Structure 1
Amino acid sequence: MEDYKHFLLLFTLALALGFASIASALTWALRYREGLGWDGGAAEFNWHPLLMVIGFIFLQGIAIVVYRLPWTWRCSKQMMKLIHAGLNVLAFFLAVISVVAVFDFHNAKNIPNMYSLHSWIGLAAVILYPAQIVIGIAVYLIPVTPVYVRAALMPIHIYSGLFIFTSGIATALMGITEKLIFSLKSPGYKDSPPEAVLVNVLGLLIVAFGGLVLWIATRPSWKRPKEGDAQTVSYNSSSPGNVKMARTDQESSLEARRRNGKAEESG
């Protein structure tokens, strides 16, 4: 991998920001709201922001960059596809629970559903997400789709994944702001009480995490080598005398991909 130290720094920072986002969302629910529960009250609603941060933002972000972790290049492409799909399925499962929680809360309190821009964009993202997962599994995980079809659909698959991820971040920012405006009365949101400061920091953490994920995911030099190249690098790197040859092969492969500009089979 080119500039491995730079990649490692950014990935470590992204992990730290992701965990800090989850910790902030949990602190918000436990310290400033009514905790967590499943009784149709405010404690049930609190599952909504927490599970969205864990699933739709953190796990989905990790699923996006999992192919780019160089220490996974020893693994087969099929194994990485399973991990990628598994993380996305888990993220979607948590998102569904969070949506059920907020609908239960609204219905119990006679609050209208689906009236805000936050709810419109959020539901659209939640609907698009399983479609992305199903198409990804059908086209890339099940080995029956012709290679030329996989290559043709890969740019769309990548774009739609990044689009859903960024839509989730935008929805989260609208949602936490909406919740603060409705919940904080005295002092109000405009007075910047500690809860408002915490949630604003949560928003900044989410944006920073998303920005790092997008940067890592869009660097051509950090893309996973083709299956044969990855195995060659893994094999040669185990022998000190062949390290230089492995690096040369990897650089040649990278240069060839840059010249061709063709979409690879994997994401």
Structure 2
Amino acid sequence: MPMPNYLKIVIDNTFNKTTYYDNNHSKGPIQSNAVISINKGNMEARAEHQRTKQYQTIYTFATSIGVGLVILILFWILYFRNGFAWQSNPSLEFNWHPFLMTLGMLFLYSQGILAYRTGRRFEKKPLKLAHAVLNFSAFVLSVIGLKAAFDSHNLSSKPIPNLYTLHSWIGLATVIIFATQFLIGFTSFLYPGLSQSLRKAVLPVHVSFGTGCFTLAVVAVVTGLLEKAVFAIEDYSARSSEGVLVNIAGLAAALYGLLVLYLLNEPDYKRTASGDDQIVLDRSE
């Protein structure tokens, strides 16, 4: 008894596809729903692989800039600004401020808000914990950085006024928004946690304010570097080596911020909901 046409299969491992043929092969492949479905699945898998590869390439480049920026700020402080101290030397205590704010509110914060996209193939729970830990670490460093700035003003032999520059206003507003964001996010999504319907309502707001807060953090870092250069580098207008270094750091911070915002807002890089997800994921996840 001849084999039915629909049971004869040729599997082409080279192109990872399955094709159905009739018995004499004279009429070519049979266009069945199964073939279309299999090919469509393969195309979607290849597209997903390509999107993941693109994300990882841009993410690696952006992270390299972020790490380089932190190292550059550290080099600037150690080589040009005489290193670190605490309250015994208020002028050197201030040096903790640019370093910790860049490390915390720019680098760690960005890694935290990208956690869901960077780990898009992982279950949501560990990503949620990583998101919380990175953001909490950023908050702790920012508090220490703020204390260093206030101490350097208040403990100086000639006290310096606080909170009169645009940078200080933007910076303080950023930390306040960030702290509020963290508190709302922790209580809504980790402990004690809101109901599913309330989390659906809170999530888009949490995501939008998180993105906006990171943008403010980038602005705060750039204006802070400019302010320090104008106030502290005597030959800044002469394009001194220290001034050029600070300018490069500012450009790196701006570029890093733009790349992170692109990764955060590109729809193709959003995390696909898995079985352990309990709510509809917003665009940033």
TM bucket, shorter chain:
0.7 to 0.9
Query: What letter is aligned with 1:86?
Result: V
Query: What letter is aligned with 2:262?
Result: W
- Report SS of the residue matched to 2:223: helix
Partner of 2:110: 61
TM-aligned CA deviation for residue 44 of structure 1 = 0.8
Structure 2 residue corresponding to 1:92, chosen from 139, 145, 149? 139
TM-aligned CA deviation for residue 79 of structure 1 = 1.6
1:95–1:144: structure 2 CA closer, same or farther, 3 Å change rule?
closer
Given that 1:36 and 1:47 are in contact with CA atoms closer than 8 Å, whether structure 2 keeps it comes out as yes
Given that 1:140 and 1:150 are in contact with CA atoms closer than 8 Å, whether structure 2 keeps it comes out as yes
1:116–1:266: structure 2 CA closer, same or farther, 3 Å change rule?
closer
After superposition, the C-alpha distances for 1:166-202 in whole angstroms (9 at most, x for unaligned) are 11110111111111111122xx211110001001110
Whole-angstrom CA distance in 1 between matches of 2:283 and 2:80: 47
Given that 1:63 and 1:84 are in contact with CA atoms closer than 8 Å, whether structure 2 keeps it comes out as yes
Whole-angstrom CA distance in 2 between matches of 1:6 and 1:217: 13
Partner of 1:216: 263
TM-aligned CA deviation for residue 85 of structure 1 = 0.7
Query: What letter is aligned with 2:177?
Result: L
Partner of 1:255: none
Query: What letter is aligned with 2:190?
Result: L
1:78–1:4: structure 2 CA closer, same or farther, 3 Å change rule?
closer
Partner of 1:135: 184
Given that 1:150 and 1:265 are in contact with CA atoms closer than 8 Å, whether structure 2 keeps it comes out as no
Unaligned runs of 5+ in 2: 1-47
TM-aligned CA deviation for residue 263 of structure 1 = 5.2
TM-aligned CA deviation for residue 4 of structure 1 = 2.1
Structure with a larger share of its residues in helix: 1
Q: Does 1:79 align with 2:126?
A: yes
Structure 2 residue corresponding to 1:157, chosen from 203, 206, 228? 206
Whole-angstrom CA distance in 2 between matches of 1:128 and 1:22: 23
Partner of 2:45: none
Whole-angstrom CA distance in 2 between matches of 1:87 and 1:15: 15
TM-aligned CA deviation for residue 266 of structure 1 = 8.2
Unaligned runs of 5+ in 1: 231-261
Partner of 1:167: 216
- What are the within-5 Å matches in structure 2 for residues 1-267 of structure 1? 1=48, 2-38=50-86, 39-70=88-119, 73-74=121-122, 76-109=123-156, 110-142=159-191, 144-185=193-234, 188-228=235-275, 264=282, 267=285
Whole-angstrom CA distance in 1 between matches of 2:275 and 2:146: 42
After superposition, the C-alpha distances for 1:75-101 in whole angstroms (9 at most, x for unaligned) are x31221111011000000000000000
Whole-angstrom CA distance in 1 between matches of 2:266 and 2:180: 26
Query: What letter is aligned with 2:180?
Result: A
Given that 1:173 and 1:203 are in contact with CA atoms closer than 8 Å, whether structure 2 keeps it comes out as yes
Q: Percent identity?
A: 38
Whole-angstrom CA distance in 2 between matches of 1:173 and 1:44: 20
> What TM-score, normalized to structure 1?
0.82
Alpha-carbon RMSD: 1.9
- Report SS of the residue matched to 2:275: helix
TM-aligned CA deviation for residue 143 of structure 1 = 6.2
- Between structure 1 and structure 2, the one with the greater Rg is 2
Given that 2:264 and 2:284 are in contact with CA atoms closer than 8 Å, whether structure 1 keeps it comes out as no
Whole-angstrom CA distance in 2 between matches of 1:162 and 1:223: 14
Whole-angstrom CA distance in 2 between matches of 1:106 and 1:141: 38
Given that 2:174 and 2:217 are in contact with CA atoms closer than 8 Å, whether structure 1 keeps it comes out as yes
TM-aligned CA deviation for residue 122 of structure 1 = 0.7
Whole-angstrom CA distance in 2 between matches of 1:37 and 1:143: 40
Whole-angstrom CA distance in 2 between matches of 1:220 and 1:164: 20
TM-aligned CA deviation for residue 142 of structure 1 = 2.9
